[in-house]
Amino acid sequence: MKIAIIMDQYDNQNNGTTVSAARYTARLRERGHEVRIVATGKPGPDKFVVPPANLGPIGPLIASQGMAFGRPDDAVIRAALDGVDIVHLYLPFKLCMRTRRIAKEMGIPHMAAFHCQPENVTYSMGLRRLKFVPHLLYHWFRRRFYRYIRNIHCPSPFIADQLKRHRYKAHLHVISNGVDETFVPMDIKKPAEWQDKFVITMVGRLSMEKRQDLVIKAAMRSKYRDSIQLVFLGNGPKKKYYERLGKKLKNKPVFKYVSKQELMHLYNQSDLYVHAAEAEVESIVCIEAITCGLVPVIADAKMSAAKQFALDQRSLFKSGSAQSLADSIDYWIEHPEEKADMKQAYLDSAKEYTLEKSIDQIEMVFRRVIAQQRKKQLAPNDPHRHVFHMPTPFVYDVDENFRFVNRNIFFRLGSAMVFYLIGIPLLTIVARLFYGLKMTEKKNLRYLKGGAVTVTNHVHVLDSPMVACTLFPRKPLFASLKSNFEIPVVRRLVRLLGGVPIPESPKALHAFMESMRRQLQKGRIVHFYPEASLWPWHEELRPFKNGAFHLAVKSGVPVVPMVFTFREPGWPLSMWHKKPLVTMKIGRPEYPAKQGSDRHRISKMRDAVQYSMENMLSENKKTAS
């Protein structure tokens, strides 16, 4: 792929956003992709330079934070975008705003990332106590930029949740910025002056929201203050203040801005990592320290994603409380055996955040975005012809003002009217009168508050309408064979009733699963038949496929097991019912495990659901006997 990354600052890697962009760029290039950078700074290979913006009176404040903003130059932007497959926009400011418009004019697929947390802005401006200001900034970012973006890369589940809370409508891709695999435990001795010290390290810009001052105050309150050596790695506007504050300690804190190699050495020379920041999009430096074998102590700040890395309460302290942090530090000093045990647990947890995994995921997202936004007529030699986006009646486009422009909105309205006013009443009558449909344990559906996957055994030609009747008033989606969408008249009926085509090509499955995941995030129910094929009137479960459980685990939604069983009709129903009557039994939702690899979690959920369904079948046999 040819990828254009647009960001205001790239050369000065004094913050997580530029570090992440540089690592992504290097790794993507190693994989053979061509990556172009549009940013301020010095020219370089495949780097297109725009002039810095004139920020007037706030320029010195921005410069003191080590930041720079680019002034859009249409000629430079168009030259950088010429021939690229996708544009990745990093920040919601003028350079990316203008680039988005140009990319749209040129017909180039584009997406954005959310790296600028509003709380970082308010802390830098001294507005931390005005709680309404971040909400205004979320709204401003959405209004000015993100409402035109259909796909957003979120570095953490925390920031994705914040965007949902602030009504961002785009598809959110949660992908960690990733830790370089070179960060590993190493046997490096401490310098002579630190040999008898307990070394505590913190990495981050020396700015108000990072709260290095809290770490210094906690060291002052510690019972072991005279043996603590603080090391702060980073630059920023608060450096002189922190240096003055640290003079009260017996061992003056060390303030450094170091290279990557020195950073790894200092991690491995430290005894504890502390992260006191009150606002973080992800805090990849925290997981870097963990991958080097450090046990962390992290602030439980409401607006920080870093707390996701803590494995238990011993690694959390009350945000803003120097005494709480001092107590946590003293605990780990006094319990070296526990710290040694937790080291391996943290090393294992860090394996989920490798840069290699993050690059795999962002490559997949790039291909999906290209598949969604590229023009239908492709050149014979287009490298992305194999990427197929499975259309569904639920996908729509928007114009510059985020208004619906897809005519399928009328189709969706018609589908809802047919389903609720005609389909469900008619299907309920047919199911109950002709097949004796009886539903038990429907109260278990009350546990569902959002999206969910439902599964049943596939044993009746009309089991899909029966599932729809069971789940009413919610309208489920049914995975249906693609061939059903090619039959005249029937194809329209299938789509009206909520059918979604299953792609026949394995290369298109990722687009199908992505469409279903998007619907689950909107709170829809998606129904699968994990047995895959229909065996009419069969009374035993057959082996399950993984598709439904893979979707549930990836989407973080529960699976509701449901079972069709059969009962003999009594008098007088036996006079016209020659075949058994149908009973639908609904089990309790099964939720995805939070720990373990994706493969393990999928397997565990599949086994749990199958076990639940087998129990329901065996209970039915006991009742019948």
**pLDDT above 60: residue 392:** no
Cβ-based neighbours of 416, under 8 Å, separated by 6 or more: 475
* Backbone angles phi and psi of 53, in degrees to 5: -80, 145
Residue range 164-212, pLDDT digits in tens: 999 898 999 999 999 988 899 998 999 999 999 999 999 988 888 899 9
Over pLDDT 90: what percentage of the chain? 44
pLDDT given for residue 343 in this prediction: 93
Q: Which amino acid, residue 487?
A: I
Residue 560's H or E segment, with its range, is: strand 559-567
Residue range 501-544, pLDDT digits in tens: 776 655 567 767 877 888 888 888 999 888 877 788 888 888 88
pLDDT given for residue 480 in this prediction: 66
Q: Tell me the DSSP string of 366-394.
A: HHHHHHHHS-SS--TT-TTTT------TT
d(CA 189, CA 187): 7
Residue range 595-604, pLDDT digits in tens: 888 888 998 9
pTM for the model: 0.60
Kindly list the structural domains of the chain, giving each domain's residue range(s) and its CATH number in brackets, ordered by start.
2-177+358-373 (3.40.50.2000), 192-351 (3.40.50.2000), 408-624 (3.40.1130.10)
Do 498 and 477 form a contact (C-beta atoms < 8 A)? yes
Most confident of 249-263, 487-501, 510-524: 249-263
Using pLDDT thresholds of 50, 70 and 90, give the confidence band for residue 493.
low
Burial 204-228 (b: 16+ CB within 10 A, else e): bbbbbbbbbbbbbbbbbebeebeeb
